[in-house]
């Protein structure tokens, strides 16, 4: 069944699909005509938070780490889950679910009372202006290439948070990626 849908998917093209080559073909162009500047796809890292699929530009991701034991920081802001030791480097780990309104309160993942982390959970180490920062994600989906034409503005309904960390939506195939501005998502 899935194979069938894939075939169908290949056959039809969606309105947002990049079909410049097809147009050229249909117009009988022999390539002499000035080719419209080719869209450079940008790579995003897609990850899962609760059941939603989010993505950040892969340039901003330094690495992906399994969840090490986290040490909670007393009296820190709630979205700071704790600190982790990554090959001798000390990194803060943040929760962004609360900011994205996916959760009421950050999960208890640090300290002696924390349960072992879920099997698929990972820490994304992001580069930010104030140094590297870890972000807890529920799972890493993979790298997706999105062309500018695949991006759209976030639906007005999404713009609810006090900090605008959703910068747009990316659509590729059947999947919709919510694009995040990491800097904003981690802003205090």
Partner 1 sequence: MNPGSKALAEFVAEATEILDALARDLLVLDERRGQEADPDLVNGIFRAAHSLKGLSGLFGQERISRLAHGTEDLLDRLRLGKLLLDGAVLDALIEALDAFQALLGEAARGTETEVLSGRVDAMAARLASLGAPTEVSEDDPLDRLELEAQVRSVFTEYEEHRLRENVRRGVALWRVRAAFDLSDFDKGLAELNARLKPMGEVISTLPSAQPGGSHGIAFDLIFGGQVDSAALEAGLEGTPAELSPLGVRPAVDVVTPALVRAAQPAVTVRQGAGKSSAAGAGSEKAPPASRPRADTGAGSELGPRESGRDTRGGGKATGAPGTAASSDAADTTAATSRKRREDSSDAPTRDAPDVSAEPRRADAESSSPTKRSGGRKRSSRTPAATPSEEQQPLLPHLSSDGAAQGAVDWPTSVSEGVAHLDVSDPGAPASPGAPEPHESIVPTEPSPAPLVAYLQGAAKASPKGLSVAPSPPAAGPGSAPAPSVGSPSAQTSDTSLRSLTQTVRVDIGRLDGLINMVGELLLIKANLQRLAESARQDGAVALSKLFGQELARETRGLERKLEALQEGLLEARMVPVGQVFDKLARLVRRITREAGKEIEFVISGGEVELDKLIVEELSDPLMHLIRNAIDHGVESPDARLAAGKSRRAVVSLRAEQKGNHVVIEVSDDGAGIDEVRVREVAITRGLITFAQAQEMTRRELLNLIFQPGFSTARSVSELSGRGVGLDVVKNNLGNLSGIIDVWSERGKGTSFHLTLPVTLAIIRALLVGVSGRTYAVPLNSVLEIISVQPRDIRTVERREVLDVRGQTLPFVRLARMFALPDRPVSRYFVVVVGLAQERLGIAVDELHGQQDIVTKPLGGRLQSIRGISGATDLGNRRTVLVLDVAALLEEGMATERRRA
By the criterion CB under 8 A, which residues form the site for partner 1? 68-69, 71-76, 80, 83-85, 88-92, 111-113, 128, 130-131, 133, 186
User: CA nearest 166: which of 179, 152, 148, 176?
Assistant: 179
Tokens of 140: 């890493």
Comparison of 79 and 167: residue with beta carbon closer to partner 1: 79
Q: How many whole angstroms separate alpha carbon 103 and alpha carbon 101?
A: 5
**Residue 82 CB burial class (10 angstroms; 0-12, 13-18, ≥19):** buried
Neighbouring C-beta atoms of residue 180, cutoff 10 Å: 26
Comparison of 48 and 127: residue with beta carbon closer to partner 1: 127
Smallest gap, in angstroms, from Cβ of residue 69 to partner 1? 5
Comparison of 46 and 80: residue with beta carbon closer to partner 1: 80
Smallest gap, in angstroms, from Cβ of residue 16 to partner 1? 35
Phi and psi torsions of 10, nearest 5°: -65, -35
Comparison of 56 and 133: residue with beta carbon closer to partner 1: 133
Smallest gap, in angstroms, from Cβ of residue 136 to partner 1? 15
């Amino acid at each position: 069944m899935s194979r069938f849908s894939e075939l169908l998917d290949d056959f039809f093209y969606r309105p947002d699909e990049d079909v410049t080559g097809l147009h050229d073909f249909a117009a009988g162009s022999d390539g002499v005509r000035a080719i419209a500047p080719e869209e450079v796809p940008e790579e995003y890292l897609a990850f899962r938070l609760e059941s939603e699929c989010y993505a950040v530009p892969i340039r901003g991701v330094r690495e992906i780490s399994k969840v090490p034991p986290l040490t909670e920081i007393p009296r820190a802001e709630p979205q700071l889950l704790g600190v982790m030791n990554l090959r001798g480097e000390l990194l803060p780990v943040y929760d962004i679910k609360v900011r994205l309104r996916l959760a009421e309160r950050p999960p208890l993942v640090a300290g002696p009372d924390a349960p072992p982390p879920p099997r698929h959970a990972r820490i994304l180490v992001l580069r930010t202006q104030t140094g590297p920062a870890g972000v807890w994600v529920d799972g890493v989906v993979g790298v997706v290439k999105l062309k500018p034409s695949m991006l759209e503005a976030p639906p007005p309904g999404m713009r609810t948070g006090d900090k605008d960390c959703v910068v747009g939506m990316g659509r590729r195939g059947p999947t919709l990626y919510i694009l995040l501005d990491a800097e904003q998502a981690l802003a205090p």
